[in-house]
Structure 1
Amino acid sequence: MAEQEVAELVKRLEEASKLKRHGKAARIPCSVFNRPDVSLDSWKFAEWDYGKPKIKLPCNARGLFIQNSDSNPRIVARGYDKFFNIGEVRQTTWNSIQNDTEGPYDVTLKENGCIILIGGLEDGSVVVCSKHSTGPRNDVNRNHSLAGQQFLEQQLKDKNLELKNLGHYLYKTNCTAIAEFCDDTFEEHILEYSKDHAGLYLHGLNLNTADFRTLPMNEVTAFANQWGFKSIDYFSIDDSESLQKFLSECSRTGHYNYQEIEGFVIRCKTKSTGGTFFFKFKFTEPYLMYRQWREVTRNYISTRNRVFRFRNHNYITNKYMDFVIPILEHDPKLADDFMNGKGIIKLRKLFLHDYGMSGLEILNLDKIHELEEAGKDMIDVIDENTKFLLVPIATIGCGKTTVALTLNNLFPESWGHVQNDNITSNRTDYIKKALELFKEGKQFVIADKNNHQFRERGDIFEWIGQFRDTYIPYNCNLQVIALCFVNEVSNDMKDLTIERVLKRGDNHQSIKSESDGQQKAVKIMQGFMNRFQPFDSSKHPDDKFDFGVDLEVANNSSLKNAVTILKKLKSHYGDVIPQVPDDMKLQEAFEKALNYKPVVKKLIKNGNNVNKNQHKPVYFSAIVTDSDRLLQVIKDSIKAHVSESSTLKENLEKIPFKDTLHITLCHKSQIRSIGIKAKQMWAMYLNTYKDYLVKESESKPESNIITTHDSVSFSLKELIWDRHILLATVELNNDSLIRRPDGPSVDKLSCLNEVPHVTLALLSGEKSAKYSSELAKEVHDFGIQESDADGGIFSIPDGEKIVFTGKVCINL
């Protein structure tokens, strides 16, 4: 009977493997250590398919290994049926628990390691599995099943027990022993398991049947004692009301008997069938705090860029970073080990020892809560220590350099000026040199550049985040001010700015109308004006500016604009802004600014070679025009559809969403990976946008992105994530992918990506955005292969789908 049940289960699994999605089964062939003649199939489903009322899975086990035999298939190892956190699904709401389950409720402490399944073969061989694999593997850095087997062998040897006897016992009883492998020398998690506490913590004995059947905890404890496993603590609560009261108290205090534990697994019976029913309760703290420390340390090691602001635990996390950064800088091996999952707990304990408190004491100390709140206010204080970075938003000929020099001449001790045209090396030096002036004692710095597109403004904030801690103290407020020279490009403004530049002749750093001709100068300026994107504080990244000053471009407007800046800043920020000087000093500073002659000359190319006079694109993309709206849809969907216990949902407010979002349409590298189809498509993109590729000057472009007038419409399809990256797949109409401003589509251009997507956030600092293509393709083909609490997918419901627009851009 049992053999027939397993054969029927295999048949249902094979049928499910042919599905495209929603219940699709994955078969992973596995070999067995020391038994190369035995082959097993590991069966799994996508994490998001469990617990869905509309999806009927052949088996709900997480971890299912079946011996590969046409005549006599046999379950060798079986994990628990997937179970959920309280409130995560309908069945685990308190109302359902009270109405549909019955006690006693066995409450088991949840150990913090990796799950290990142990089964037996007929000859007594023991099969040790991780959640979804067993046997030798070359595709992973750590083989959990091998480490588990080695620990088990040593455990039995220490008890003078034979491995084969355990294998025979498990085979005859048709059971799987389920343990949590906790050993910091192999892999660190959140809780500490030093040498004395490391081991295989047995927490279950499952029967190898299609339906979930597990032995009671007293038998599990007896088995653990017999075979040398560490046993887990458990106790029983008679009724659901008492259970709810107990867990509510644990939730309030954040601990169990003053122990830092991950949580509890609760085991009971269903009233309707008497079947086994599991659910879990997880503590949020101190694990979220510890996880934040771990991730911010990984980010620092990867980027050497310190993050200062955190939505939760801001004060204590900065204290932690103050402590660990000098240690990491003086111990490169410790930093390397940390990135490989070693020394994480050691570093945390060093900080807690130095701070003189445990994690629980920190969380429960009123003084720390007061400092956390004070820290939130401190970073917004405007005083004499506040730094002001003033960023023009303009086009060529608006007078931004004259205004900057006028202010610098008025207040040479406190005001500084960095001109992008003087920077001929790294693009990031534009902001780095501005921040350097703050370190040298300046309080106000004008970072002189056109910044005429959203992308350029987004770069500014990205670079500020990258370099700020090197030049500005943690307790110093930085205000970023937008100087809006242009709000719209009018004909009058065009005529005036062109006239100004032509009058200056070669006295301009990037346009030499005398040397290279007026026609070329006008063409360059018109290119800037055509690409101009006005300041919009309701859109990202312009919403990151702390304040904006509207200026004007008119005859004799530069001196007036300098005064306007001072007055507007004074009105908004008060006494930290200097008073407007008298007319004589203003005129003197202005005249000196007018006499300025550039030192660095950026010459326009004057050759006739077309190829040399063209930009070389790396890829074509569609940059989302309303990224804020898109991200809000993503956040709302996560809140509505992702389970409460998901790491993604727990850390929603901390996700480092990208400032600029894009869909890659066609990448040059695809010529190598795809072949002739990609080569032809690449040629069509180049031909379509050849006019945009003509270089306007010999110098490096101000931005590595050229924005066209064309657009792409799309809607969100699925949200996919793992511990490294968060992305959304999108639906495109490849028959009429790209549209002109006046409506018609561009013939024959399509998206070359098999799975078009938008990379939303890099979560771990260990992978680049390129990894999103790999993950999207993998999930499209077969789901996330090693899904865990840090990974998942869900489809955006049709009723929530919104059409978004992306501007077609050329990425250099």
Structure 2
Amino acid sequence: MTGDLDTETYKSQGKHYKKGIEAIHKQLAAIGKTPEELARVLYEQKVTAVAELCDDEFEEHILEYPHKIAGLYLHGLNHNEINFSTAAMDRVSEFGKTWGFREVEYTSYATYDELMDFIKSVDQVGTYNGRELEGFVVRCKRKMADLSTWDDYFFKYKYDQPYALYRQLREATLKFYPKDYTRPLADIRSMYPKFRKITFAYLQFAGEYFQKYPERREEFEANIGVIKLRKLFVEDLLADQPTGIKPHQMEANEKIAAKFDRLISTTETVYCVVTMAAPGCGKTTTCMTLANMCADWEHVQNDDFTSGQNVTDKVLELLGSKKLVFFDRMNYRENYRKEFFTKIFLKQDGYIMPNVGIKFIGVNFLNYESPQSKYKLLEERVFARGDNHQSIAAKSSPTAARSVLLDTLKKYQPPKLKEDEEDLALLPRVVEGLRLDRSDSELSLLINLDVEGEDSSLKNARIIYDELTRAYPDLRVKDFSEDEWQSAFAAAKSYQPKTRKRVSAPSRTAIYYGIDVDHDSVVAHLDRVLADNATWLAIKQNGRVQPEFHVTLAHMQAVRNNKAKYQSTWQDLGRLFSKNVYRKSAAPGTRVPVPIYTDMRLEKIVVFEKTLVALKVAVPSLYRMKEDGAKVGHEAAPITNSYLHITVGTVDQSIAPKMSNVHLAALYEKGEVCDGHHQLLNNAADVFSWDHDMEKQQGFIYFD
């Protein structure tokens, strides 16, 4: 932030970048110094100054930073080295005073026991130097594997209260009062096991506040007014309480409890089961078996709805009269589930009474470390049923059926636990929704299944019934006999679809050709190599790791920009990938997998500081595979991209993934580069060798 903005790329960065620039320039001007002077000192000392902008007038978070204490807080001076190394706090403090930064308070302890005694004493008081706080960053030394080296190491100790309550109130506001819709307060029954009553009281208060000041609702989404609303609520909450009572101690308050109990006594709960599966998992048979047995349970099959009809409306219509509805769709991507939840919240007022809360239960049919490992099993099932399916005709179109199955398995995104949860290769049979990450936290419960074994659909139907009725006793119908189970299962298996989906779209245009890359193994390796890298950690923390990885071989835009150079390359790719075979049946905006493969080499990991992470790759040749697994027809890969790469993720949404091309071009402008730190004109990059081979990565065409 200490140099000139030389390129359009940096002029277009988001509000945080621009505010940071403004803050550092203002800070330096106030003490008679310039950005160039600061940049020169940092360059000469070979360090990066790490500062945090805390300013409620710009953006609020959880704890308060009013104008008198707002500014850039200097947290550290990190040495520009591959391995994490940082300056001691006394030097950081001295540097901060010299350059006008806000000072981070610190204290030192000789032993771990002394440190923990201090931390616990602050927890008992609830404040530090008169301010509420989230916790402490502990700077220490960590003994490395050689047992003789001690490296710098940081970890954070977070207090449960009041920060956890304040964060929950903020998250609840965003969940119940987004700018586009209002969720009924009855939904709170399935959320927030801690401080549920205080949160309910707060949401009632917030609803009245937003009704009185509707413009504040949109401001809240932009992190403005968060603290003001909370303080107004706390003042109201503690108005008639003895001095010294803390907000989080009000959960047992009789007045709040009475309001919440009235909500509970007048609230009815209905249930929506959201399936996650691939073709051949037996989800429809499983759902229909249960719907056949329980009169108050209904089954909605997504494939019954053609264009112009809305499956979400049907789900909501049935939730208005039934106790439980199965939403039978593959939902194999996290964003598909997010889209469904959002549509439900937008429309539910038109179908569901205000005193009715919806609990979502997820059913994941593929709880495997590698869903692709079940390809053969699912392929056999898909082809065994032939054309007896609404959207996949395996007998009539075997190639298309295989492509759909393989593509679904490669892109399968089961729900994941939040980052602060234990890292598990396989999730347990049942997981509480609050433990799940991102939009899957809307689920009250997740049931994980497997699809192996004869009659797995019947087995899974029994599991779902047992787990649902164990968690929610109001769903129990009775203990069914074996004959009743078998009869319901037989009826489900004999079902013949009445609606067939037919695609009659015009031929699509190929936009780019690429190679899909296995996602999880790449992320796992980066977690090891970049464990202490600030850019990688920021990308993960911001949820900015790309949900799927690919290498773009050629893009139509390159052909438009230089037709003479790339037209023949584009045509060669079209023939090699059999573009005309797939273009008529391709849906717009989709990536269609094709039977073209490569043995790819991941050569370099490149971290562009505070910007993005990319992998430089090599694609030596493309080939097809015979049924016996033999590779045939090796051809050199026709490409238009100068630097084949994978964009792993960007730090925030203002940085487009395509910027990898720009940054890699700057890095490799003069040829190959060695491992280590490289200072560029407008950025810096850290390069790490990988030299990892990935066999049988599949090609695809993206159609518009």
- The answer to whether the aligner puts 1:730 opposite 2:616 as a matched pair is yes
Distance 2:409 2:697 in 1: 17
Superposition deviation, residue 732 in structure 1: 1.7
Mapped partners of 2:59, 2:549: distance in 1: 35
Residue 803 of structure 1: how far off its partner (Å): 3.5
The answer (yes or no) to whether the contact 2:613–2:648 under 8 Å persists in 1 is yes
Find 1:476's aligned residue among 346, 359, 362: 359
Kindly state the Cα deviation for residue 424 of structure 1 after the two structures are TM-superposed.
Answer: 0.9
| Number of the residue aligned with 2:303 | 420
TM-score by length of 2: 0.57
Task: Quote the residue 1:627 is aligned against.
Answer: 519
Question: CA–CA distance in 2 between the matches of 1:656 and 1:732?
Answer: 24
Q: Report the equivalent of 1:670.
A: 558
Give the corresponding residue for 1:714: 601
Aligned-partner residue type, residue 607 of structure 2: I
Matched to 1:629, the amino acid is S
Alignment of 1:488-507 (within 5 A): 488-490=378-380, 494=383, 497-498=386-387
Kindly state the Cα deviation for residue 131 of structure 1 after the two structures are TM-superposed.
3.6
Secondary structure of 2:406's match?
coil
1:569 Cα offset (Å): 3.5
Q: The residue matched to 2:516 in structure 1 has which SS?
A: strand
Q: Does 1:546 align with 2:455?
A: no
In the alignment, is residue 436 of structure 1 matched against residue 316 of structure 2?
A: yes
Larger Rg: 1
- Say whether 1:487 aligns with 2:377: yes
| Structure-2 change in CA distance of 1:647 and 1:332 (3 Å) | farther
Equivalent residues of 1:671, 1:679 under 8 A apart: yes
Check conservation: 2:597, 2:623, Cα contact below 8 A.
yes
SS at match of 1:710: strand
Q: Which amino acid in structure 1 is aligned with residue 694 of structure 2?
A: V
Match status 1:527 vs 2:400? yes
Match of 1:388 in 2: 273
SS of corresponding position for 2:646: strand
- Match of residue 118 from structure 2: 249
The residue type paired with residue 758 of structure 1 is I
Matched position secondary structure for 2:316:
helix
Q: Secondary structure at the match of 2:449?
A: strand
For 2:296, what is the secondary structure of its paired residue?
coil
Q: Is the 8 A contact 1:250 1:256 kept in 2?
A: no
> Which is worse superposed, 244-253 or 613-622?
244-253
The structure-2 alpha-carbon separation of the partners of 1:181 and 1:404, relative to structure 1 and needing over 3 Å to count, comes to closer
1:407/1:562 contact within 8 Å kept:
no
The alignment yields a C-alpha RMSD, in angstroms, of 6.6
Q: Distance in 2 between matches of 1:707 and 1:475?
A: 37
For 1:116-265, what aligned pairs fall within 5 Å after superposition?
Answer: 131-133=2-4, 142=18, 184-185=56-57, 192-197=64-69, 241=110, 245=114, 249-250=118-119, 253=122, 256-260=128-132
The 3 A distance-change label for structure 1 pair 387 and 680 is same
Q: Deviations over 1:164-220 (max 9, x none)?
A: xx799xx9xx999x999976546768764434556899999xxxxxxx9x9999999
Separation (CA, whole Å) in 1 of partners of 2:658 and 2:584: 30
1:109-120 map, 5 Å: none
**Aligned mates of 1:485, 1:437 — CA distance in 2:** 36
Change (3 A) 1:695 1:656: closer
Distance 1:433 1:180 in 2: 46
Match of 2:510 in 1: 617
Compared with structure 1, are the counterparts of its residues 755 and 590 closer, same or farther at alpha carbon in structure 2 (3 Å cutoff)? same
The aligned residue for residue 683 of structure 1 is: 571
1:678-722 CA-partner distances (Å, limit 9, x unpaired): 44333222222226744676xx74993322222232326325377
Q: Using the alignment, how far apart are the partners of 1:702 and 1:134 within structure 2?
A: 38
Cα deviation for residue 415 of structure 1 reads 1.6
Instruction: Please give the secondary structure, in 2, of the residue aligned with 1:634.
Output: helix
- Specify the SS of the correspondent of 2:365: strand
Cα deviation digits, residues 533-592 of structure 1 (max 9, x gap): 399799754978733364899xxxxxx887666445446656656536967994899499
Map Cα deviations across residues 104-163 of structure 1 (whole Å, 9 max, x no partner): xxxxxxxxxxxxxxxxxxxxxxxxxx644599996676476766777898x8xxxxxxx9
Give 1:731 shift: 1.7
How far residue 420 of structure 1 moved from its aligned partner, in angstroms, is 1.8
Asked whether the 8 Å contact 2:549–2:647 carries over to 1, the reply is: yes
Residue 702 of structure 2 corresponds to residue 811 of structure 1 = yes
**Contact 1:737 / 1:750 at 8 angstroms: preserved in 2?**
no
Alignment correspondent of 1:743: 631
Number of aligned residues = 570
Q: For 1:606-637, what per-residue CA distance to the aligned partner results, in whole angstroms no more than 9, with x for missing partners?
A: xxxxxx8644333223222x422222222233
User: Which ranges in structure 2 are unaligned for 5 or more consecutive residues?
Assistant: 43-48, 77-86, 140-151, 253-267, 367-373, 416-425, 428-445, 670-677
The AA in structure 2 aligned to 1:630 is V
Question: SS of the residue aligned with 1:394?
Answer: coil
CA displacement at 1:480 relative to structure 2 = 1.4
Q: Which residue of 2 aligns with 1:377?
A: none
Q: Distance in 2 between matches of 1:596 and 1:783?
A: 62
Going from structure 1 to structure 2, the CA distance change for 1:769 and 1:692 (only over 3 Å counts) comes to same
Counterpart Cα distance in 2 of 1:291 and 1:528 = 46
Q: Hey, what's the Cα distance between the residues in 1 that align with 2:338 and 2:359?
A: 18
Q: Partners in 2 of 1:730 and 1:199 — Cα distance?
A: 38
Cα distance 1:233–1:709, how it changes in 2: closer, same or farther (>3 A)? closer
For residue 547 of structure 1, what is the amino acid of its counterpart?
Answer: N
**In the alignment, is the contact (CA less than 8 A) between 1:613 and 1:694 conserved in 2?**
no
One-letter amino acid matched to 1:806: Q
User: What secondary structure sits across from 1:497 in the alignment?
Assistant: coil
Contact 1:405 1:593 in 2 (8 A): no
Cα 1:776–1:748 change in 2 (3 A) is same
Aligned CA distance change for structure 1 residues 614 and 585 (closer, same or farther; 3 Å): same
Change (3 A) 1:418 1:785: farther
Give the letter aligned to residue 416 of structure 1.
H
Matched residue type, 1:497 = G
Letter in 1 for 2:529: S
State the shift of 1:808 in Å: 1.1
Amino acid across the alignment from 2:305: N
Counterpart mapping for 1:35-114 below 5 A: none
Does the aligned pair in 2 maintain the 1:298–1:339 contact within 8 Å?
yes
- The CA deviation at 1:478 is 0.9
Q: Is the 8 A contact 1:415 1:442 kept in 2?
A: yes
For residues 328-352 of structure 1, the C-alpha deviation after alignment (integer angstroms, 9 at most, x for no partner) is 7986754665677754554565566
Deviation at 1:809, TM superposition (A): 1.7
Distance 1:146 1:589 in 2: 69
Q: Give the C-alpha shift of residue 528 in structure 1.
A: 1.0
Asked if structure 2 preserves the Cα contact closer than 8 Å seen for 1:738 and 1:749, the reply is no
